Amino acid sequence: EDMCKEVGAYPKCAQCPDFVAPDSTPGVMTWDELLEHMDNLVSWGQDELKAWHKTASALQFDKKAETALVVLKGKQGEAACVAADATHRALVQNKLAGICEDMCKEVGAYPKCAQCPDFVAPDSTPGVMTWDELLEHMDNLVSWGQDELKGWHKTASALQVKQGVEVCTSADLKHRVQFQNRLAGICEDMCKEVGAYPKCAQCPDFVAPDSTPGVMTW
C-alpha cells in the first residue's frame, strides 16, 4: 500500500492483499450505503426480537423464572406481559421513526418523507396564510361561533328563569354585538391577509380608508 502511494496509484491498489479502498464520497450517504444501512437496521431489529424471544422462553421454561412468573401472574395477570410487549414495540417504532427521518435528510429528500412513520411535514408557506389554511380557519371560526351561541343560549335560559324576558333580550343583544364586533375584526384581518384590502365590502361595518388622503375632492 505504501508503494502504491509512492508511485501515485493510490487509491487504486486492488492488487495489494487485504486492501480496503477509502470512502469515495466522505460525508455523503450514497444509495448503496443507504441500502446497506437499512439492511444493518433490519438485522439489528431481528437480533433484538430474537433476544426478546429467548428471554421470554427462559422465563417460561426455567424453574426459578417459572416460579416468579406464576407469582407475577397471580398478582398482575396477563396485563403485565401485554404492557411490557407494548413498551418494546414503542421503543422499536420510535427508534425506526427517528432513523428514517435522519436518513431522509441525509439523502436530500427532506421534507418529502411521507414513508416515515408518524412524519409531520413542516409548513410549506411559513408566515403566509394559504387558501386552504384560510378555509380551515373559517371552519374553525364557524365552529367556535356555534359553540359560543350555544353557551349564550344556555345563559339566556338561566337568566330568563331568574330575571325575565327583558334581561334575556338585553344580554342576548350584548352578546350579538360582541360577536359581530369580533367577526368584523377577524374579517378585516383576513381581507388584509389575502391581499384584497381595502376592497373588503363583504366585512360587516367596514369603512374604506380615504382613497385621496390629504386631498379634498369635488
10 Å Cβ neighbour count for 197?
Answer: 16
> What is the structure's pLDDT at 163?
64
10 Å Cβ neighbour count for 168?
Answer: 19
Q: What is the pLDDT along the chain (218 residues), one digit of tens a residue?
A: 788 888 888 878 888 888 888 877 777 777 777 777 777 877 887 888 788 778 777 666 655 656 655 666 666 667 767 777 777 777 776 666 677 878 888 888 888 888 787 777 777 777 777 888 888 888 888 888 888 988 888 887 776 666 666 766 777 778 777 777 677 677 778 888 888 888 888 777 778 888 787 888 77
Alpha-carbon span 203 to 35, nearest angstrom = 57
**C-alpha pair distances (Å), 113 with each of 16, 33, 42, 187:** 42, 18, 19, 36
> What is the structure's pLDDT at 16?
87
Alpha-carbon span 44 to 99, nearest angstrom = 13
> What is the structure's pLDDT at 145?
87
> What is the structure's pLDDT at 62?
58
Alpha-carbon span 98 to 105, nearest angstrom = 11
Q: Which residues does 116 contact at the CB level (< 8 Å), separation at least 6?
A: 97, 100, 101, 104
Task: Report helix, strand or coil for 209.
Answer: coil
Is residue 156 within 8 Å of residue 168, measured between CB atoms?
yes
